[in-house]
Structure 1
Amino acid sequence: MKNTSASEFVYSFPAIRGIQAKREYYITMCPLKLVPRLFKFVEEDLPPELRAQRSINRQRIPAIAQYIVKNIESYAFSSLTVSIDGEVSFEPFGDDVVGRKQGVLTIPMEARFLINDGQHRRAAIEEALQICPELGEETISVVFFVDAGLERSQQMFADLNRYAVRTTRSLGILYDHRDPMARLVTKLVANVPVFIGMTEKAKTTISNRSRKLFTLSSIYQATKRLLQKRKDEKITRAEEKLAQDFWREVSRCVPDWLLAVQRKVSPSELRTEYIHAHGIALQALAIAGSDLIVRCPDTWKERLPRLEKVDWSRSNLALWEGRAMIGGRLSKANNNVMLTANVLKKSLGLPLNSIELELEEKYAAGRK
């Protein structure tokens, strides 16, 4: 009986060959059912200097897996990047320009695969397959590099992540068509007059010279508090109308906003001089507004104009220091948002709950 060496067993992938930094690399499609079998994460117990990527964060896996399962018809994954520790061969389909770039990549089964980028995607795919085995026939693109040792793999990991920048919160909201709240907020900035043309949709901060008054992310957070909604929770048409009506009515109670829309005052001037030109004010207005609507569902619009008497000036330190501001600078901390909302609730004639009263006591004690 003939002995068969392990090296005679191979994986064969249809692939495209490319060149980067004078090194060959290969792109192929891998069925999802093979991903957990081929690409194993085995470095968790090694010290960082002996690994080629970060330790896997198991807490991230369920959320990514659920993303796949809940969006079977629309999920999207970028490529896995994998180093091959072993000899490979590439057999092109032809001798012409196109044929030389397409062919079959052959990898010995004893070769080791090292994930340079995508270990969390790989783990999430494994978990998702347990829930939906039918996903196994779908594919993910894999970029193969021939490994040149640990140092090269570590450098690849550093290079792949060097210029990775997380999208801004505002841009993420703008492009998220699955989140009901994101869809609602996109409608708000297109239909509420004070938001139209005054909303920064790509950034979470507004530059000093910007003509924008609000950020998409601040409107999102405030509307979420107004409607008391969790992420991905459904929003009814009545709630959608309520949000539009609320922000329309609020804008009438903050005359400076309307002046900014009419180009009679610059948003940068408002940001310098007033609390109401910052995200903390939107959230505080939403908190107070939510309580007002619950307590006065039929008359909240009549009560809202009381807000016109609020002195939003940042120079009013007696009112805002320790609430919206700490040491003269705006604070986005939740306690400061709530203390700011307390001022608005009092102006609307609303009682404070036990948590708000406790915050007021601590605030008063700190002022002594």
Structure 2
Amino acid sequence: MMTTQTHEYFFEFPAIRGRQAGREQYVLFVPMNMLKRILASDNSGDVMSRSQREHNQVRSRKITNYLTGGHDTKRDWILGTLTGNIDKAVIFNAAEGTKGDVGMLSIPMDADIKLFDGQHRSGGIYGYIDARPDANDMITLLLTVGLPLETRQQFFSDINNNATKPATAISMAYNHKDPVNDLVRHIASSVRALAMRVDYEHNVVPGKSDLLVSFKALHDATRKMFGLRAGDEVPAALRHEAVTLWSAWADALHWEWVAEMLGASTYRTMAIGTHGVMVNAIGLATAMMLEHHDAEAIAQQLRAHRQQDTTCEDRSQTFHHERWHGICVDAQSGTVKCDAAAQSRAAMHLLALFGLDPANPHAWLREACDESVSDDAIAEMIGKVEKVAAEKNLSMDSLKADIPLMIARSEGEFLQTLNHMRKLRQWAKEQYPEDVQA
């Protein structure tokens, strides 16, 4: 609103007056579509002549996208207060019937209002209003008056030095807009070994904590496992597969025994089975397996290997630090490494450790056929071969070697034999007369 007062022009806003450190301050709500008119830029020129950092357009665009996305989908969003200084005297008229600190603030139109906290938010707002001019949202301003440049610079430093960015883990855990975060929360509550044992607060579980794994490590590993990106939709089938796979891995690594009998903090001092590098390695190893195996088949293989363990202590020793030297533990310092290369090496070692083969289980026949033969047809033929092998007590290794040769020699005609049990039995009887049982 514009008004004339003592031959000067003013912007007038409802405001609240308060004091901090002896200085008057004003809090006001400003329509976002008016913000560009009242704020002055403070991000150009020599760095010591301003009280703001260089403007990062990428950061502002992210805020613009956040606001426009919320506007278009009618979802909740929030943007924090912008803090700045008015370089000229203002007039505050208290409202009648108040104690004097609620009223109208008149700001000279030729005054410069420069922010020392919130320039990227203001840039994001400018982009939002340009993209959605019909938006009627408002933003809060906290304004001081007449601060010299040095004080504004000091306030910028104080605000940023005293601010602590929250751990990525808790930001992910609290973010209910991303379906991937919801999936990981579901895993954390549904996998028996992880229930009440996931650290949502820290990116890395503190050494003395009794919690098993961090939410961030579980999140990163699950994304690797299924090739997910932030914001991807998560169908019910994938949620089921995720719980199946993480339950199988937790059982294979005896996480429940570690938590209940040994203690997570004690375990971490000697073994890496719950370390972030191992959790991520599980994600990578499973992703390789999922190329050619379904989730239940992988879980069955892990369960079968789990049954071979003599004791939980034996499996725990498998993950002692010294056994992972050169893989993800530095042999000289004993430091656990968690970089991408270490995760990849650990994943390959995990596959070998649990006898998991990422290769297509049907590769021996798939590679002998052209693309006109579907994967389902390949699986059906292999089922018939395995049935005949079981009936006749034949070696599958011999069949895997001989059948591709037969296909090649017959230029594919032998596939008809593989598609008919009677013909297949007859061929087996003729091919292995000494081995075939009557």
**C-alpha separation in 1, matches of 2:40 and 2:186:** 44
Distance change >3 Å, CA 6–CA 38, structure 1 → 2: farther
Counterparts of residues 124-203 of structure 1 (less than 5 Å): 124-135=124-135, 137-203=136-202
Counterpart for residue 12 of structure 1: 12
Q: For 2:322, what is the secondary structure of its paired residue?
A: coil
Counterparts of residues 212-231 of structure 1 (less than 5 Å): 212-231=211-230
The answer (yes or no) to whether the contact 1:7–1:109 under 8 Å persists in 2 is no
Counterpart for residue 341 of structure 2: 335
**Deviations for 1:160-198, whole angstroms, at most 9, x for unmatched residues?**
222101111111011100011111111221111111121
Distance change >3 Å, CA 343–CA 132, structure 1 → 2: same
Q: For 1:26, what is the secondary structure of its paired residue?
A: strand
* TM-score normalised over the length of structure 2: 0.74
The answer (yes or no) to whether the contact 1:283–1:337 under 8 Å persists in 2 is yes
Q: For 1:133, what is the secondary structure of its paired residue?
A: coil
* Pairwise CA distance, 1:274: 1.3
Instruction: Name the aligned partner's letter for residue 337 of structure 1.
Output: Q
Counterparts of residues 314-325 of structure 1 (less than 5 Å): 314-316=321-323, 320-325=324-329
The answer (yes or no) to whether the contact 1:201–1:215 under 8 Å persists in 2 is yes
Distance change >3 Å, CA 307–CA 68, structure 1 → 2: farther
The answer (yes or no) to whether the contact 1:68–1:128 under 8 Å persists in 2 is yes
Select 1:260's aligned residue among 258, 261, 269: 258
Q: For 1:335, what is the secondary structure of its paired residue?
A: helix
Instruction: Name the aligned partner's letter for residue 128 of structure 1.
Output: Y
Counterpart for residue 348 of structure 1: 356
* Pairwise CA distance, 1:102: 0.5
Counterpart for residue 279 of structure 1: 276
Distance change >3 Å, CA 7–CA 177, structure 1 → 2: farther
Distance change >3 Å, CA 22–CA 302, structure 1 → 2: same
**C-alpha separation in 2, matches of 1:191 and 1:11:** 57
**Deviations for 1:185-222, whole angstroms, at most 9, x for unmatched residues?**
11221111111121111112222221111111111111
Counterpart for residue 29 of structure 2: 29
Counterpart for residue 408 of structure 2: none
Is 1:313 aligned to residue 310 of structure 2?
no
**C-alpha separation in 2, matches of 1:123 and 1:241:** 43
Q: For 1:35, what is the secondary structure of its paired residue?
A: helix
**C-alpha separation in 2, matches of 1:228 and 1:5:** 63
- Give the number of aligned pairs: 340
* Pairwise CA distance, 1:43: 3.0
Counterpart for residue 75 of structure 1: 77
* TM-score normalised over the length of structure 1: 0.87
**C-alpha separation in 1, matches of 2:266 and 2:5:** 77
Specify which structure has the bigger relative contact order, considering alpha-carbon pairs within 8 angstroms and separated by 6 or more residues: 1
Counterpart for residue 237 of structure 2: 238
**C-alpha separation in 2, matches of 1:217 and 1:70:** 25
**C-alpha separation in 1, matches of 2:249 and 2:6:** 73
**C-alpha separation in 1, matches of 2:226 and 2:37:** 46
Q: For 1:324, what is the secondary structure of its paired residue?
A: coil
Give unpaired runs (5+ residues) of structure 1: 353-368
Q: For 2:189, what is the secondary structure of its paired residue?
A: helix
Counterparts of residues 55-70 of structure 1 (less than 5 Å): 55-70=54-69
Instruction: Name the aligned partner's letter for residue 348 of structure 1.
Output: L
The answer (yes or no) to whether the contact 2:42–2:52 under 8 Å persists in 1 is no
Instruction: Name the aligned partner's letter for residue 258 of structure 2.
Output: A
**Deviations for 1:113-144, whole angstroms, at most 9, x for unmatched residues?**
11111100000111112222222x21011111
**Deviations for 1:271-313, whole angstroms, at most 9, x for unmatched residues?**
1111212011111111111221231115222222476577322
Is 1:92 aligned to residue 94 of structure 2?
yes
The answer (yes or no) to whether the contact 1:306–1:348 under 8 Å persists in 2 is no
Between Structure 1 and Structure 2, whose CA radius of gyration is higher? 2
The answer (yes or no) to whether the contact 2:40–2:112 under 8 Å persists in 1 is no
Q: For 2:209, what is the secondary structure of its paired residue?
A: coil
**C-alpha separation in 2, matches of 1:64 and 1:250:** 39
Give unpaired runs (5+ residues) of structure 2: 310-314, 361-438
Moved over 3 A (4+): 4-7, 305-310
Distance change >3 Å, CA 12–CA 307, structure 1 → 2: farther
* Pairwise CA distance, 1:157: 1.0
* Pairwise CA distance, 1:321: 2.2
The answer (yes or no) to whether the contact 2:55–2:119 under 8 Å persists in 1 is yes
The answer (yes or no) to whether the contact 2:42–2:51 under 8 Å persists in 1 is no
**C-alpha separation in 2, matches of 1:185 and 1:14:** 45
Q: Percent identity?
A: 24
The answer (yes or no) to whether the contact 2:169–2:200 under 8 Å persists in 1 is yes
Is 1:289 aligned to residue 286 of structure 2?
yes
